[in-house]
Amino acid sequence: MKPEAQAALSESAEQVEARTRAYWPDISKATGLPAEGVRFRPLHVNANVRDRRCVLEARLEDKRRFVLRADYEERRRVPLMKQLQRHRIAAEALRESSKAHVPQVLWEASDTPCALLEFVPGETAVQELQFADLGAVQRDLVWERIGAAIGALHAVSRTREKRFWPKPFLQQVSEQAEAVRRDAGNYPHPQRFLGLCALLHRFGKRARGLPYLGALEHGDMHLCNILIAEEKVSFIDFSNFKNDHPQRDLANLWVTAVVNEEQGLRQGTGYGMIAPSEMRAFEAGYGEALIEDPIFRFFHAYRLFRVWGTIARMEKARGPRVKKKRAALVAVLDSLQDAERTLE
């Protein structure tokens, strides 16, 4: 990023942070929290959205902590407010759950996706898995807890029994495959990607018309959006309010964890390069066998397809991190193609 662009971003980020802090007097009046003596600390937000999103820790003088989050992307204001409503409903539904937790919404603005949330202690699932590598916790137990928590979230998010129709997803696959055929030079491993597209059509055919129990998706299910404490497993940053393929949450979790080394998953020898013991632990917690489910297999491959496209658009595509991600994509595809021969 050019220095002048970085400076403009920083200035904009400071303005967004000031705009968010300015809600505190209204929050104080509505909640009875102190108006003075509040210290704000920015929490991690991706650099490319800091000009329109702000997440702050608000610490009171009595040591109580809260999270103040705001999104200012005007064209997405309505869906963002609906996502906040989805968050609030999930938090209420899981209030008494011993397996899963969503931070309570303590205050929200009437016309902007801005809310004061309960502060959730704990480490991200990435950090918890890193602690497991150091011997602090049992790795399989971490995965079992994550599976149980996602199962609890999906259980309180049920919609209705439906049948799976992959046509809209496969239309995207066909369009992207045609684009790659026209301009293969700007796509990583184009022939392998086209093989993934063909695999998706086969997986879609096998999953077509199968019944499944719908559940509203989290929408951005990955290990950084899961917080683990001794008492509970919490979910943050919901980004969906209507799509109800729960298998997509599960696929997003596993593909993202394998392709992104920083997410703490050691590549294994099982389905999709997942360590078999970790998948078994997750399935024990979640309560369902995933790999035998054709709908999960479809969404797992579809998530790989989406990540492949994202990496193709990355700047500095020859950097070492991106090269590792590309290699991981191909390794996962190899695994899926090998598994296809034995699972069907």
* Residues 45 and 95 sit within 8 Å (Cβ to Cβ): no
Strand pairing of 211-215 and 158-163?
Answer: antiparallel
pLDDT digits (tens, 9 = 90+) for 262-294: 555 566 789 999 999 999 999 999 999 999 999
- Residue that terminates a domain, selected from 118, 139, 173: 118
Is residue 78 domain-shared with residue 98, that is, in the same domain? yes
Strand order in the sheet with 226-228: 123-124, 226-228, 233-235
CB 278 within 8 A of CB 140: yes
Does 18 share its domain with 85? Answer: yes
Q: Are 328 and 258 in contact (CB under 8 A)?
A: yes
State pLDDT tens for residues 22-77: 999 999 999 999 999 999 999 877 767 888 899 999 999 999 999 999 999 889 99
Residues 218 and 306 in one domain: yes
Say how far apart CA 238 and CA 84 lie, in whole Å. Answer: 8
pLDDT of residue 206: 97
Judge if 40 and 150 occupy the same domain.
Answer: no
Residues 203 and 145 in one domain: yes
**Identity of the residue numbered 222:** H
Concatenated DSSP letters for 18-71? HHHHTTHHHHHHHH---SSS-EEEEPP--GGGTTTEEEEEEE-TTS-EEEEEEE
Q: Which domain holds residue 86?
A: 3-118
Q: What is the mean pLDDT of residues 194-211?
A: 98
pLDDT at 315 over 60: no
198 and 335 share one domain: yes
Q: Structurally, how many domains does the chain consist of?
A: 2
CATH number assigned to the domain comprising residue 80: 3.30.200.20
Per the CB < 8 A criterion, the answer to whether 58 and 28 are in contact is no
pLDDT for position 329: 92
User: What distance in Å separates the CA atoms of residue 203 and residue 191, rounded to the nearest whole number?
Assistant: 18
**Entry pTM:** 0.91
Confidence of residue 344 (pLDDT cuts 50, 70, 90): low
Specify whether 102 is located in the same domain as 173: no
